[in-house]
Structure 1
Amino acid sequence: MGTPDLNAAASRMDAADIQHFYSSRSWIEGSALEQLEQVASLQGMQKLAAFPDLHPGKYGPVGCAMLSSNLYPQLISNDIGCGMSLFVLDLPSRKIKIDKSANQLAKLDQTASNAAKQNTNHLEANGLSATLHPGTLGTIGGGNHFCELQMVDHIENSDLATKAGLDSHQSCLLVHSGSRSLGTEVFASILQKQALTEAEANTYMALHDQAVRWAKLNRQLIAERAASLLRCDCKLISDSPHNLVEVIENMDGSRSFLHRKGAAKADMVFAPLAGSRDALSYLVHPTGRDDNALASLAHGAGRKYNRSSMHGRITRKRSVRDALIHTSFGGRVICEDSQLLIEEAPQAYKDAGHVLKDLTDLHLIEPVMSFKPLVTFKKSSSVSSSKKSFNSKHRRYKR
Structure 2
Amino acid sequence: MSQITLIASDPARFDPLALDQLQATARYGGMARIVGLPDLHAGNGIAVGAAFWSPDRIWPHLVGSDIGCGMALWETDCSLRKFRLGSIERKLHGLDAPWPGDGAAALADAGLPADLASPALGTIGGGNHFVEFQRIEEMVDEARFAALGLRQDRVWMMVHSGSRGLGQAILQAHRQAEITEGIAASSPAATAYLAEHDAALDWAVLNRRIIAERFCACLGLTGRRVLDICHNSVTPHQSGWLHRKGAAPADRGLVTIPGSRGDFSYLVEPIADKADHALHSLAHGAGRKWSRKDAHARLSRRFKVADMQRTDLGSHVICEDRRLIFEEAPDAYKDIAMVIANLEQAGLIRVIARLRPLLSYKTRAA
Which residue in the other structure is 1:10 paired with? none
> 1:213 is aligned with what amino acid?
D
2:238 and 2:6 map into 1 onto residues whose CA distance is 25
2:281 aligns with one of 287, 290, 296: 296
Give deviations 1:240-261, integer Å, cap 9, x for gaps. Answer: 11000002363xxxxx210000
Contact kept, 8 Å, 2:59 with 2:183, in 1: the verdict is: no
2:85 and 2:92 map into 1 onto residues whose CA distance is 10
When the two chains are superposed, the root-mean-square deviation of aligned CA atoms in Å is 1.6
SS of the counterpart of 2:217? Answer: helix
1:99 aligns with one of 61, 70, 86: 86
1:279 aligns with one of 253, 263, 284: 263
Which residue in the other structure is 2:117 paired with? 133
Q: Does 1:27 align with 2:13?
A: yes
Q: Does 1:219 align with 2:219?
A: no
Give deviations 1:194-238, integer Å, cap 9, x for gaps. Answer: 364610111000000000000011111111111111211111111
TM-score for both structures, normalised by structure 1: 0.87
Q: Does 1:236 align with 2:221?
A: no
2:11 and 2:81 map into 1 onto residues whose CA distance is 36
Which residue in the other structure is 1:181 paired with? 165
Which residue in the other structure is 1:385 paired with? none
2:237 and 2:290 map into 1 onto residues whose CA distance is 34
Q: Does 1:305 align with 2:294?
A: no
> 1:289 is aligned with what amino acid?
D
SS of the counterpart of 1:236? Answer: strand
| Distance change >3 Å, CA 26–CA 367, structure 1 → 2 | farther
Give deviations 1:344-372, integer Å, cap 9, x for gaps. Answer: 11111001111111111111000000111
Shift of 1:375: 1.0
Shift of 1:25: 8.2
> Is the deviation greater in 124-133 or in 297-306?
124-133
Give deviations 1:108-156, integer Å, cap 9, x for gaps. Answer: 224xx242x5122111111111230331111111110000011111100
2:341 and 2:48 map into 1 onto residues whose CA distance is 19
> 1:37 is aligned with what amino acid?
Q
> 1:67 is aligned with what amino acid?
W
Contact kept, 8 Å, 2:103 with 2:117, in 1: the verdict is: no
2:287 and 2:296 map into 1 onto residues whose CA distance is 18
* Number of residue pairs aligned between Structure 1 and Structure 2: 359
> 1:77 is aligned with what amino acid?
G
SS of the counterpart of 2:108? Answer: helix
Which residue in the other structure is 2:193 paired with? 204
* 1:1-399 matches, cutoff 5 A: 15-24=1-10, 27-68=13-54, 69-110=56-97, 113-115=98-100, 117-194=101-178, 196=183, 198-248=187-237, 250=239, 256-290=240-274, 291-317=276-302, 320-381=304-365, 399=366
> 1:54 is aligned with what amino acid?
L
User: In percent, how many aligned pairs have the same letter?
Assistant: 38
SS of the counterpart of 2:220? Answer: coil
1:51 and 1:105 map into 2 onto residues whose CA distance is 35
SS of the counterpart of 1:357? Answer: helix
Contact kept, 8 Å, 1:26 with 1:355, in 2: the verdict is: no
Shift of 1:27: 3.4
